Amino acid sequence: MSQRITIDPVTRIEGHLRIDVEVDGGKVTKAWSSGTMWRGVENILIGRDPRDAWAITQRICGVCTTVHAICSVRAVENALKLDIPVNAQLIRNMIILAHAVHDQIVHFYHLSALDWVDVVSALKADPDKAAALGESLSTWSGNSKHEMRKVKEKLASYVASGQLGIFTNGYWGHPAMKLSPEVNLLAVAHYLQALEIQRYANKIVAILGSKTPHIQNVAVGGVANPLSTDSQSVLTIERLMAIQEWMNKLDDFVKNVYMVDVAAIGAFYPEWTQVGRGVVNYLAAPDIPLDSAGTQFAIPGGYIPNGDLSQFKPITAFGDKYFEDGVSEAIKHSWYEYGGGDTTSLHPYKGETKPHYTDFQDDGKYSWLKSPTFLGKPAQVGPLARVLCGLAAKHDGITKYATGMLDTVSSLAKTKVGLDAMHSTIGRHASRAIMCGVELDTLKGQWQLLVDNMAKGDLDTFNAPVFPKGEIQGVGFHEAPRGILSHWVVIENQKIKNYQCVVPSTWNAAPKNEKGEMAPYEACLIGNPVIDAEKPLEVLRTVHSFDPCLACAVHILDTENSEVVRVKAS
């Protein structure tokens, strides 16, 4: 007999997500993914100056701030057919690459690792054996005996005090946990070290973007960073040298800790390379533009239908008609209404954001997320899509790190693990680690290009926009850490007439579309094992592998201007 499980809210994510599943015979047979707050920021933008949109859309989320700023200015620039100085592209690129590296590290260690690591079990570990294991896997200095003893003592102090602090409320002792005490201790040590390391990525964003979260330096037409080789009041070589030092610290951790840890999780949980396949249409945007027009990119993107890499079709430029014409959003199972009715699917330029709440209906409306499709089909977006598109495009860095990851997992698991294992819950974690390595290498390359440009005397960072009369429209896309993000703007006489954001967690966490087809979260949960219905750890493993960010997919607006929340600082 089937049993209904509701997880509401799903924690260790950004925003408000509800997951419902029916379990029969220890496996999920039905699934519903529901975003439980409305995102109304599109309506806030109507009638505003397009040059202000980037600052407003950043406030959709306190985590995905940078990505919305970049995507918004790209949308307006695309509408204006405006070229961007190469220096501005390089500075933007460095910001979004550093942001991505930060996001990947935090996602694995602080939002997902506790699905696989039994923190309490680490108290039984022999610190010296944990250190020996860590030192056998990499040269990371934080794997020493001294460090492992210190972490175990710290963990023991948490327990002795009657609380686990940041490790409270985990499913410790769950039968699905398989790591040895020594591996768990090593993972806890890396969790704590990652808290320190991620700060360096944020420092890079803050230096280049003037602050973080919510960068202040971008503008339609470029960036507001004056460049100089000597003035201390602007972006100088001195500041760029500090960024280089932080990049090297991040590189050491990512290559010698993060990538190794993800490979170890894959080796110790090999069955999870067969769980979480779901939707295998993959969509990714090309990113890190290298020219002023946005027609050359350091990292490729495109579309792969049915998981068949031989059918990969690239997206080649900002404003690529293949991408622009392929996107649509439906609302049959969403708490919205369209003028054309619930079975209508609208292109974002024609998109409507009209709320229509009905309570949760299994066979009706049950989410504040719309249902995006590409070429009429659901698509999985995110790091796995990036890696597969990169492999199909024969990108050197992605190929190198993907091959290394699969080889390392195979070596640790003592069995051959092939590319098909990537279509899984573990595969999404592996893809994030692969992309983190690629992003760091690319970040260092962009840094060098900027330094070389400044050495040649090129200090341009801004081209002033000129708005025509009448109506124009544009789309900006960006391959954010969670997947392809696109902003769609219609401008009339220098005012925003329509604005739509199609975000990664909308693609992945959407309800069923007008044809009844499941999006990735729901599809990936079908067949997911569940040992204990009271502690549905396995469901969280698959959902967390996407790094849900529901704040980007849903938001709130009170049209009566009532007080929603009051915060008092003293």
Out of 482, 541, 544, 555, which one is annotated catalytic?
482
Residue of 100, 127, 250 whose CA lies nearest to 189: 127
Out of 333, 352, 549, 555, which one is annotated catalytic?
549
CB environment 436-450: b (16+ within 10 A), e (fewer): bbbbbbbbbbbbebb
Structure tokens at 152: 């175990």
Residue type, 94: M
**Residue in the structure block whose two tokens are 């295998």:** 280
Structure tokens at 202: 């944020």
Known active-site residue 61: yes
Known active-site residue 64: yes
Q: Is there a contact between 237 and 451 (Cβ–Cβ < 8 Å)?
A: yes
* β partners of residue 304: 282
Known active-site residue 107: no
Q: 309 CB contacts (<8 Å, ≥6 apart)?
A: 388, 391, 392
Structure tokens at 108: 């694995």
Out of 395, 505, 541, 545, which one is annotated catalytic?
505
Cβ neighbours of 93 (radius 10 Å): 26
Q: Is there a contact between 331 and 352 (Cβ–Cβ < 8 Å)?
A: no
Known active-site residue 337: no
Q: Is there a contact between 490 and 496 (Cβ–Cβ < 8 Å)?
A: yes
Cis peptide before 305 (omega within 30 of 0): no
Burial of 47 (C-beta count, 10 Å sphere; 0-12/13-18/19+): exposed
Alpha-carbon gap, residue 540 to 534, rounded angstroms: 13
First to last CA, the chain: 55
Alpha-carbon gap, residue 74 to 319, rounded angstroms: 10
* β partners of residue 28: 23
Out of 12, 61, 386, 524, which one is annotated catalytic?
61
Known active-site residue 14: yes
Out of 14, 329, 479, 522, which one is annotated catalytic?
14
Out of 68, 333, 423, 478, which one is annotated catalytic?
68
Q: Is there a contact between 464 and 451 (Cβ–Cβ < 8 Å)?
A: no
Q: What does 121-181 look like in DSSP terms, one character per residue? A: GGGG--HHHHHHHHHHH---GGGSHHHHHHHHHHHHHHHHTT--GGGTT--TT-TT----H
Alpha helices in 314-465 (DSSP H): 321-326, 383-392, 396-413, 425-455
* β partners of residue 313: 303
Alpha-carbon gap, residue 147 to 201, rounded angstroms: 23
Alpha-carbon gap, residue 363 to 372, rounded angstroms: 18
Alpha-carbon gap, residue 79 to 294, rounded angstroms: 13
Q: 321 CB contacts (<8 Å, ≥6 apart)?
A: none
Known active-site residue 436: no
Out of 33, 64, 147, 522, which one is annotated catalytic?
64
Known active-site residue 410: no
Residue of 399, 337, 403 whose CA lies nearest to 364: 337
- Which residues carry out catalysis? 14, 61, 64, 68, 482, 505, 549, 552
